[in-house]
Structure 1
Amino acid sequence: MERCCCGLMTPEKQAVPLQSVDVQVDVKDHVATVVSTLLYQNKEEKPIEAVFVFPMPSEAAVCHFSAKVGETLIVAEVKEKKQAREEYDDALSSGQQAFLLEESDQSPDIFSMSVGSLPPGESASIRLEYVTELDVQADEALRFCLPAVLNPRYQPAGTESTSVNVTSVPSSLVPYDLTFSVRVESPRPVSKVESSCTMDPVEYLNQDQTKASVKLAAGHKFDRDVELLIYYKDSHQPSAVVEAGQASAKPGSLMGDPVLMLSLYPEFPKDIMSSVSSSGEFVFLLDRSGSMDCSMGHGPQSGPRIASARDTLLLLLKSLPMGCYFNIYSFGSIFEQIFKESAEYNQKTMEEALEKVEKMHADLGGTEILAPLKHIYSQGCIPNQPRQLFVFTDGEVGNTKEVINLVKSNSGSHRCFSFGIGDGASSALIKGLAKEGGGHAQFITGNDRMQPKVIQSLRFAMQPAVVDISVTWDLPKGVSASVLSPPLTSIFQGQRSLLYAQLTGQSKERTEGCVTVKYRLAGRPTENKLNFSLKPAEDAGLTVHRLAARSLIRSLEQDQEGARWEKDDAAKKKIIDLSVQSGVSSSFTAFIAVNKTSGDAIQGPLLRRNVPLPMMMACSMPMPQMNYGMQMQSMVCAKKKSKGFSLPKFRSKRSCASRASSGGFASLASSGGPVVTGMLCADNMMDEDFDDTMMVKGGSRLAPQPKALRDPLLELVSLQTASGCWKLEPALATALSKTSQDLENKQPSMAKTEVWATILALVWLHGLKADAKDEWELLVMKAATWLRSQNAAGLTECVEAANALLGCSVQKEALGL
């Protein structure tokens, strides 16, 4: 197999049409406006059509699409999707240039851009703009992510998928450049900006540091998602922004009236929050598809995702309260469960679970999450043990909407906490699971440790469920509010809840309003109020209106999901009208731009060029010579039937051994579908159709990997008992970097051995691992509870002796004693 020497060429030596991508991000408080400029150039001798399928944040509101060809600017309009496709086809048939942007029918975080009829030597500059809310992270940072990696969507067996090519090449050979710059502005000072990629130093633009800019360092390879973490001082402050309506829009319409955006940070009573719940059914669902063998980060020290997941399950199991129930499921093309039904948490069940977790590998094939979810929901709930579901996956699935609808239909019986692992994790899937399951979503990328984010979600899961949520308004006479957001179904201490409302009418009496969120928490009526000014913000543009429109569109789409849309014309028309009115994309509309000044009808075939995307490299596979190809299709320049686009169903009968021997090159085709060429993520290399010895079929397993040295923190944590105490054993001495003799010699005479061992562990954690407090805080609370239950004498002497032995200076009070 001949190795390509240049990523700028296809195997047939034709140039790739996309030359560069420039991204400018304007962040105002917790909202980002993103402007991407894509430069296309046809270096071939014939007219071409360039097709680019790319990821997008699922919550983004795409609000502008335009093309500049020479000196001619063509601004796209939002139209019903079928009409837009027909106009695009007609334009190409008549020799006109046309540009089409549409959302995938399968998932709202995938878009397709078609640049049609680009003559030889011609360039086109495409401008794409969207607005998006920034998520709040565990450490109070706001997270922005520019998705760069589009992982192949795993299509479950037996499902249909019509698709066009999604061309993928190793990310280091993506033949277009990226420039990326960010400007941040907030009422509060910007304390720092961090990134998963190398950035130039932050530049502050004013003295009080409320404005700052940062840009991507030169030489960046577009081989990973660009993640940005923005930290403000005093970030958890409720806020309200009123944005004036569009002057040209009809009064009473969404775009014509003012729109209010509320950021709420509910505060729960301290006496309720001080007691951690000891009840609950905790169900952990772990992805064991082939891609979980991929590295967590990009450095040489990064271990595989499955190893990080095993460590995280260890920490979770040690942090669970006595008296709760739990179970662990794992899935790929099949699923497994540790217990037939959720078991009561005690030393015996914890040890049995940990023993099985240690043997878990990324050896279960594809990413079929629907079957285990159905099985979990088929199990009856345990009385007085509220169910909390934790889902860990790096996957992309072709049936995202079906999975989310299943969670939504069972939302009354549980809360769902989801975790997207690694670059390319589907934001639509991860956020959809949490949103519809009344839980919380987290993304773990780069060299992030998974543990602190997961433990934060466990804290949320242990908070009492908030019920009977209602929102009431106190507005001046003549002014009313229509909520545009879905009803609030979950509230967590310290987490932001966003609310959009359309304000209708005017009043000269008052310039202020008030919103009150009422709910019941642990059986107690509770409320939080926020006063706000009705005066519109200056120079706000239409950002809030577009985000509100996007929220309402998504809500309407989700409400009708499950019914067949073609039978619900009124609901579909409402979404299309709202999308056209607001200029925001939806699943039923597309952006279409036609250059009606462009030339004559094209003679002969119009060649189609699929622009390659970066792709997760196949994991644990040898990678010598590969064909970094792009598939090509010829399209006859005549009116054609557009079928939209989706992502291919990856199937293959080749064994892992033959793939490895061929250098990891994969050319997979679905039945009757197109071919995707390039390196594929290991999910698709380990489909359940492969009958190779690495699979679970017939009980065979991947060969066990050599046991790596465990992190000292996790080594100590692994020794804690289910009740919360530690035992005085040689393994504890080793974890503390001492000898058994050291521990025995320093033990105060009146202290019990388990009390002494537990104090040693707590002093070590507080004194030497304070920076990892987010990870060990819950299990330390459990240990302190156990110590108090012992009514042990000599605790002060134990703490002093432990400090002396370990070289620490931890106060007894700090241990919760």
Structure 2
Amino acid sequence: MSLFCCLVPLKSIDAQLEVKDHVATLVSTLNYENKEDKPLEAVFVFPLPGDAAVCHFSAQIGETHIVAEVKEKQQAQEEYDDALSSGQQAFLLEESDESPDIFSLTVGSLPPGESASIRLEYVTELAVQADDGLRFCLPAVLNLRYQPQGSEGPSVQVTSVPASLVPYSLSFSAQVSSPRPIAKIESSCSLEPLQYLKADQTQATVKLGAGHKFDRDVELLIYYKDAHQPSAVVEAGQVSAKPGSLMGDPVVMVSLYPEFPQSVMSSLATCGEFVFLVDRSGSMGCPMNNSTPQETRISSAKDTLLLLLKSLPMGCYFNIYSFGSSFEHIFPTSVEYSEKTMKEALEKVEKMGSNLGGTEILQPLKHIYSQACISKHPRQVFVFTDGGGGNTKEVTDLVKKNAGSHRCFSFGIGEGASSALINGIAKEGGGHAQFITGADRMQPKVMQSLRFALQPAVEDISVSWGLPKGASATVLSPPIKAIFQGQRSLIYAQLTGQVGSPASHFEADCSVTVKYSLKTFDLLQMLDVSPSCLRLTVHRLAARTVIRSLESEERTRRGQQDEKVKKKVVELSIQSGVSSCFTAFIAVNKDSGKAVQGPLVRRNVPTGDSIYECSGLLKLTSCTHLSSSFHVTGGDDLDSEGSTRSVPEPPQPHKDPLLQLVSLQKASGSWMLDEDLAAVLGKTKEEVEKAKPELVGLWASILALIWLHAFKMDAKEEWELLSMKAASWIKAQNGNIHNHQGTPVFKCIGTLFKSNVNLTSHCATVHGAEKSILHCYWLIELLKK
């Protein structure tokens, strides 16, 4: 162990984050030191957000500062090799061919006793969570990615160790500013107290607590007051860039964050085809988090499927797929939702384990898309996975190809799930992405996404521009496929023509109008465009958007005119200074004075691996004079003969009373009065039956709803949809809330729970079953006594 630690030249990482409203810039400084008696080449493979635009790379060696250039990838690699062969110091940063969220940094010819600081900068948009928080994630965990059968090996080799053995430190600080006050900043990691820099709370700073163990990503959730505020900003072009180019012209960024009328949002869809695709690879047997090791990822996914199936509307269609190295489905094709099909599905869900091997998501997706769509039932696909694979781009391209026939909602489970995969399939599928990390519970986040899926579809989205005469706007973003309540959508556009000097702030009168239809409403958002205080950030994000679109087009057209598209990507990447899969950053120290002498020794710098930690498997390769590194099997463990096997699952915990109650609900939304229901209520069946009115069916469902409101309000997001279904069922029975003797149901409830409260006056003011059940919350306090 000690030999390994001393052979790793990376000593520390310092990360500084600057957030302006919903755009983030991260500057990371990686400090290297060679304490050996021979020159080193250090290779560090690490994760970055999949949608980040890497825009700066430089090195500091003593007094020499070298700024890297973006060049075509093969040319950059050849220049790096040539520099090393001639004894020069060189630095290479390149994006993985397989996935845009993995980068490789190579530090070459670091002489004995020499130090170097590497500066890496990227910009990214912050995704909005369902609770209106903006999520920034600094990935600190990189699980080995599954290589699908028949595919080529990865272009970069990942070296991972348990988080506790990562031999370098991390410091992290963030400065946040916004036109709106900052309500709070939260994290799954230990933070120092938030410090406001202005009295109006529009600026704040926060730091990561010391001693980060690399067992989790550094996640920040930023909450602003009055969050639903659309905006449009314009950023002046780069002075040195050619007018008419993307970097030379002004670029507008339009941020849409709609809040739809409550009258529309309160009505949820009663149709749809819901397809749930669940990861059952070996790593799904890992604990959700360290504080609750008895709850595994697969057990949490099964509980989530229970809530999902109970919350679906009658008359819709559904199916459940599960995958690993192979895939399975519960029904040959999607079936109509009923008591019979729901019960059959839940029986099979209960038997699911993390026993299907690897993480091959492409084949089940192909099978889902091969199924004919059901008329008047829009397809909604929910994808649950804790990993990623070497075919991320192929998967997202497949989702994009089928985006016209479905929406895709994705969930990254645990630390180290591929952000490129999770965000990519949601973005291309017009859906919503969520990450379940740290102490997060899967169920509320998934139910939030189900609410999105049940929202009315936004249609006929169009954008128009109010520009000065002689000016025009070219939209750079792909067309917006969907707009959800509480989800931000971004539009980038390049302004050309008579729009003022590129070197000055944009001063012409400019506006943008977004129009869309929602059920019977035609909605408009009209925004005035204001100057941006950002420094080429908008241009780089716009360039990243165009680059990703071109890369996808190149893959689609591969074998035809792909070289022409590839050339466009390389040209834009070099012009904007933003990385791509076809380019790399290269820096060569040509002023070092003398050539580095002696044979070069490679050292692989490891990352933390959460799967490695949870599996309890540790395989150490031989430590030789020339090479030393830890090796782990990765997210889907291999036995001694190379076969995939699952991580052993700990014993299942006692089922939560909420899930017990939910499991008893019928597909219609009702409950039956039996011993199991009485047990959840804390009563015997005899006690419940003795107090019941003659309305037998209503009685059980009324008790279940009141129990939810009385004792599980902290989990309301999980059961709200199924309670709405129950209330609708009760209302449809046209039952009245009195028994045959005219005694109110309320009095029966009071008798059951031995309350001395006189309910007569309350009953006199309440009319209708639904109103009685859902609005008389004084009963909640009654039940708590």
Letter in 2 for 1:562: T
Unaligned runs of 5+ in 1: 635-674, 696-701
Letter in 1 for 2:550: L
**Pairing partner for 1:474 from 466, 471, 484:** 466
- Alpha-carbon distance between aligned partners in 2 of 1:720 and 1:431, rounded to the nearest angstrom: 34
- Alpha-carbon distance between aligned partners in 2 of 1:703 and 1:577, rounded to the nearest angstrom: 50
- Alpha-carbon distance between aligned partners in 2 of 1:800 and 1:203, rounded to the nearest angstrom: 53
Aligned to 1:732: 677
SS at match of 1:468: strand
Residue deviations 1:110-165, cap 9 Å, x none?
00001010000000000101111111001110001010111111111111125443
- Alpha-carbon distance between aligned partners in 2 of 1:676 and 1:396, rounded to the nearest angstrom: 23
Aligned to 1:400: 392
Letter in 2 for 1:444: I
Aligned to 1:548: 542
SS at match of 2:98: coil
The alpha carbon displacement at 1:250 in A equals: 2.1
**Pairing partner for 1:773 from 711, 716, 732:** 716
The 3 A distance-change label for structure 1 pair 706 and 58 is closer
Which aligned pairs between 1:63-82 and structure 2 lie closer than 5 A? 63-82=55-74
Q: 2:143, 2:611 within 8 Å by CA — same for their partners in 1? A: no
Aligned to 1:537: 532
* TM-score w.r.t. length of structure 2: 0.91
SS at match of 1:149: coil
Q: 1:608, 1:632 within 8 Å by CA — same for their partners in 2? A: no
Residue deviations 1:318-357, cap 9 Å, x none?
0000001111010101111111111111111111111111
Say if 2:131 is the partner of 1:139: yes
The 3 A distance-change label for structure 1 pair 226 and 767 is same
Residue deviations 1:355-407, cap 9 Å, x none?
11111110000111111111111111112211111110011101111111111
Q: 1:293, 1:619 within 8 Å by CA — same for their partners in 2? A: no
Q: 2:181, 2:224 within 8 Å by CA — same for their partners in 1? A: yes
- Alpha-carbon distance between aligned partners in 2 of 1:281 and 1:557, rounded to the nearest angstrom: 31
SS at match of 2:150: coil
Letter in 1 for 2:698: V
Letter in 2 for 1:627: L
- Alpha-carbon distance between aligned partners in 2 of 1:487 and 1:29, rounded to the nearest angstrom: 24
The 3 A distance-change label for structure 1 pair 800 and 124 is farther
The alpha carbon displacement at 1:171 in A equals: 1.0
Letter in 2 for 1:739: T
Say if 2:481 is the partner of 1:485: no
The 3 A distance-change label for structure 1 pair 256 and 622 is closer
**Count of residues in correspondence between the two structures:** 755
Unaligned runs of 5+ in 2: 501-505, 776-785
Aligned to 2:686: 741
Residue deviations 1:532-568, cap 9 Å, x none?
134x234x21111111111111111122222227853
The 3 A distance-change label for structure 1 pair 53 and 407 is same
Aligned to 1:723: 668
**Most deviating of 776-785 and 559-568:** 559-568
SS at match of 2:510: strand
Which aligned pairs between 1:224-239 and structure 2 lie closer than 5 A? 224-239=216-231
**Pairing partner for 1:519 from 513, 516, 523:** 516
Aligned to 2:503: none
- Alpha-carbon distance between aligned partners in 1 of 2:319 and 2:625, rounded to the nearest angstrom: 48
Letter in 1 for 2:447: I
Aligned to 2:95: 103
Aligned to 1:368: 360
- Alpha-carbon distance between aligned partners in 2 of 1:800 and 1:93, rounded to the nearest angstrom: 90
Which aligned pairs between 1:332-347 and structure 2 lie closer than 5 A? 332-347=324-339
Percent identity of paired positions between Structure 1 and Structure 2: 64
Residue deviations 1:472-529, cap 9 Å, x none?
212222222111111111111221111111122346998443322233444x462322
The alpha carbon displacement at 1:705 in A equals: 6.5
**Pairing partner for 2:728 from 785, 793, 809:** 785
- Alpha-carbon distance between aligned partners in 2 of 1:687 and 1:233, rounded to the nearest angstrom: 55
Which aligned pairs between 1:2-401 and structure 2 lie closer than 5 A? 4=1, 6=2, 9-10=3-4, 15-161=7-153, 163-301=155-293, 303-401=295-393
Letter in 2 for 1:231: Y
**Pairing partner for 2:437 from 435, 440, 445:** 445
The alpha carbon displacement at 1:628 in A equals: 7.7
SS at match of 1:756: helix
The 3 A distance-change label for structure 1 pair 198 and 252 is same
* TM-score w.r.t. length of structure 1: 0.88
- Alpha-carbon distance between aligned partners in 1 of 2:470 and 2:69, rounded to the nearest angstrom: 35
Q: 1:167, 1:676 within 8 Å by CA — same for their partners in 2? A: yes
The 3 A distance-change label for structure 1 pair 801 and 160 is same
Q: 1:394, 1:422 within 8 Å by CA — same for their partners in 2? A: yes
The alpha carbon displacement at 1:800 in A equals: 5.8
Aligned to 1:797: 744
Q: 2:87, 2:596 within 8 Å by CA — same for their partners in 1? A: yes
**Pairing partner for 1:690 from 635, 643, 647:** 643
- Alpha-carbon distance between aligned partners in 2 of 1:703 and 1:551, rounded to the nearest angstrom: 42
Say if 2:753 is the partner of 1:757: no
**Pairing partner for 1:572 from 544, 551, 566:** 566
Letter in 1 for 2:730: L
- Alpha-carbon distance between aligned partners in 1 of 2:214 and 2:88, rounded to the nearest angstrom: 33
- Alpha-carbon distance between aligned partners in 2 of 1:689 and 1:576, rounded to the nearest angstrom: 39
- Alpha-carbon distance between aligned partners in 1 of 2:164 and 2:493, rounded to the nearest angstrom: 45
The alpha carbon displacement at 1:802 in A equals: 3.9
The 3 A distance-change label for structure 1 pair 241 and 803 is farther
Q: 1:763, 1:799 within 8 Å by CA — same for their partners in 2? A: no
The alpha carbon displacement at 1:272 in A equals: 3.5
**Most deviating of 297-306 and 578-587:** 297-306
- Alpha-carbon distance between aligned partners in 2 of 1:687 and 1:781, rounded to the nearest angstrom: 52
**Pairing partner for 1:559 from 553, 575, 594:** 553
- Alpha-carbon distance between aligned partners in 1 of 2:364 and 2:561, rounded to the nearest angstrom: 31
- Alpha-carbon distance between aligned partners in 1 of 2:336 and 2:452, rounded to the nearest angstrom: 21
Letter in 1 for 2:689: E
- Alpha-carbon distance between aligned partners in 2 of 1:251 and 1:585, rounded to the nearest angstrom: 22
- Alpha-carbon distance between aligned partners in 1 of 2:115 and 2:275, rounded to the nearest angstrom: 54
Aligned to 1:410: 402
- Alpha-carbon distance between aligned partners in 2 of 1:686 and 1:186, rounded to the nearest angstrom: 51
**Most deviating of 711-720 and 315-324:** 711-720
Say if 2:587 is the partner of 1:593: yes
SS at match of 1:561: helix
Q: 1:290, 1:364 within 8 Å by CA — same for their partners in 2? A: yes
The 3 A distance-change label for structure 1 pair 739 and 224 is same
- Alpha-carbon distance between aligned partners in 2 of 1:588 and 1:805, rounded to the nearest angstrom: 71
Which aligned pairs between 1:523-672 and structure 2 lie closer than 5 A? 524=520, 526-534=522-530, 536-538=531-533, 540-564=534-558, 567-618=561-612, 621-622=615-616, 627=620
Letter in 1 for 2:620: N
**Pairing partner for 1:713 from 629, 648, 658:** 658
Q: 1:19, 1:177 within 8 Å by CA — same for their partners in 2? A: yes
**Most deviating of 737-746 and 72-81:** 737-746
SS at match of 1:37: strand
SS at match of 1:131: strand
The 3 A distance-change label for structure 1 pair 704 and 45 is closer
- Alpha-carbon distance between aligned partners in 2 of 1:557 and 1:799, rounded to the nearest angstrom: 64
The alpha carbon displacement at 1:14 in A equals: 5.1
The 3 A distance-change label for structure 1 pair 310 and 631 is farther
- Alpha-carbon distance between aligned partners in 1 of 2:562 and 2:166, rounded to the nearest angstrom: 43
Q: 2:555, 2:562 within 8 Å by CA — same for their partners in 1? A: no
The alpha carbon displacement at 1:733 in A equals: 1.5
- Alpha-carbon distance between aligned partners in 1 of 2:281 and 2:470, rounded to the nearest angstrom: 57
Q: 2:470, 2:497 within 8 Å by CA — same for their partners in 1? A: yes
